[in-house]
């Protein structure tokens, strides 16, 4: 009886937590004009560009990473010997990138919060209209072949925030879609992919060596200073699995439509850039 009561309380707390975040995201933050959201986000992001913000790095690492030497795996994004500010740490680079041992890898690090056949997943209600997940990928969405698999990876603040190519291939399309900057937290919504349908995003398509297209949608959120594409990320440029495509300056989600299924992970798993999908 006591166990059942505790379970019911835990479920109630989860529902309240989701309801609170959902209300704030959709009915407070979400009704603000996009211009206002971006203005507030720029102010928020700029705080982490201040020199004093580097003092936050050490306590942040202590609070979020069980490995006391976690930070030693990386170097500042600025190229300096020490981190100039918190943003310099947030966009950190690997000293030695993970070794790619397979043809198909995760493009980023984060929480796999939705997965399945793209045509079997539920429609999402956005501003009173039901939308298909294909809409996330913009103009190319309707052309995604049936049988493709959809993955939504939420990058929490403590994750590595660079996006990499999941396969060897050539970039065939880059598309910028303006939008809102609603909260990305997947537990705030009945459908965790709602923000990806509403928010500003950059879509990048990669045609692999077998002629199959991989669709990536790099989604911004509140506090995102910018989504910065790599210097060599352009249409017709060749990429290798694990090659960097883009960087988030605070906040992020990455959605992928792939021709092959994920067999190594399930919803709720933490996935890591460079690890195999199968």
pLDDT tens digits, 93-113: 999 999 999 999 999 999 999
Tell me how crowded residue 27 is: count the other CB atoms within 10 A of its CB.
9
Whether this model's pTM surpasses 0.75: yes
Place of tokens 């982490």: 48
Query: With contact defined as beta carbons under 8 Å apart, do 97 and 242 qualify?
Result: yes
Would you place residue 3 in the very low, low, confident or very high pLDDT band (cuts 50, 70, 90)?
very low
Q: For residue 9, is pLDDT > 50? A: no
Antiparallel, parallel or unpaired: β 162-164 and 169-177: unpaired
Tell me how crowded residue 112 is: count the other CB atoms within 10 A of its CB.
19
Higher pLDDT, 224 or 15: 224
**Mean pLDDT across the stretch 250-269?**
92
Higher pLDDT, 182 or 16: 182
Would you place residue 7 in the very low, low, confident or very high pLDDT band (cuts 50, 70, 90)?
very low
Q: Which helix (H) or strand (E) holds 41?
A: helix 34-47
The encoded tokens of residue 111 equal: 């929480």
Higher pLDDT, 144 or 222: 144
Q: For residue 18, is pLDDT > 60? A: no
Q: For residue 6, is pLDDT > 70? A: no
Strand partners, 114: 152
The encoded tokens of residue 11 equal: 């479920």
> What percent of the chain has a predicted confidence (pLDDT) above 70?
85
> What percent of the chain has a predicted confidence (pLDDT) above 90?
62
Kindly report the length of the chain.
278
Q: For residue 120, is pLDDT > 50? A: yes
Using the Cα atoms of residue 62, residue 63, residue 65 and residue 66 in order, give the sign of their dihedral: positive
pLDDT tens digits, 186-220: 777 778 888 888 888 999 999 999 999 999 999 98
Tell me how crowded residue 54 is: count the other CB atoms within 10 A of its CB.
18
Q: Which helix (H) or strand (E) holds 74?
A: strand 74-75
Angstrom CA distances, 44 to 37, 70, 222, 233, stand at 11, 26, 9, 27
pLDDT tens digits, 133-179: 999 999 999 999 999 999 999 998 899 999 999 999 999 999 999 98
pLDDT tens digits, 60-96: 999 999 999 999 999 999 999 999 999 899 999 999 9
Q: What are the residues whose beta carbons fall under 8 Å from the beta carbon of 234, sequence distance 6 or more?
A: 171, 174
Q: For residue 246, is pLDDT > 60? A: yes
Q: For residue 4, is pLDDT > 60? A: no
Burial 77-102 (b: 16+ CB within 10 A, else e): bbeeeebbbbbbbbbbbeeeebebee
Which segment of 40-44, 115-119, 153-157 scores lowest on mean pLDDT?
40-44
Place of tokens 């198909």: 104
The residues spanned by each domain of the chain are 41-96, 110-271
Q: In what order do the strands lie in the sheet with 162-164?
A: 162-164, 244-248, 227-229
């Amino acid at each position: 009886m006591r166990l059942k009561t505790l379970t019911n309380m835990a479920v109630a707390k989860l529902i309240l937590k989701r309801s609170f975040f959902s209300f704030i995201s959709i009915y407070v933050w979400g009704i603000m004009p996009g211009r206002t959201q971006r203005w507030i986000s720029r102010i928020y992001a700029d705080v982490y560009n201040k020199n004093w913000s580097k003092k936050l790095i050490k306590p942040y690492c202590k609070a979020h990473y069980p490995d006391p030497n976690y930070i030693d795996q990386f170097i500042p994004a600025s190229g300096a010997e020490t981190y100039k500010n918190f943003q310099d740490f947030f966009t950190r680079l690997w000293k030695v990138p993970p070794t790619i041992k397979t043809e198909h890898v995760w493009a980023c690090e984060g929480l796999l919060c939705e997965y399945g056949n793209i045509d079997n997943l539920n429609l999402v209600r956005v501003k009173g209209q039901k939308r298909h997940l294909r809409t996330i990928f913009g103009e190319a969405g309707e052309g995604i072949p049936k049988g493709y698999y959809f993955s939504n990876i939420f990058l929490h603040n403590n994750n590595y925030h660079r996006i990499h190519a999941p396969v060897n291939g050539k970039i065939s399309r880059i598309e910028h879609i303006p939008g809102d900057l609603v909260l990305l937290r997947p537990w705030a919504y009945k459908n965790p992919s709602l923000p990806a349908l509403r928010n500003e995003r950059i879509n990048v398509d990669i045609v692999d060596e077998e002629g199959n297209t991989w669709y990536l949608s790099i989604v911004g959120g509140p506090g995102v200073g910018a989504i910065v594409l790599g210097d060599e990320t352009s249409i017709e440029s060749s990429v290798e699995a694990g090659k960097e495509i883009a960087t988030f300056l605070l906040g992020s989600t990455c959605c992928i439509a792939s021709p092959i299924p994920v067999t190594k992970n399930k919803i709720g798993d933490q996935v890591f850039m460079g690890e195999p999908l199968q």
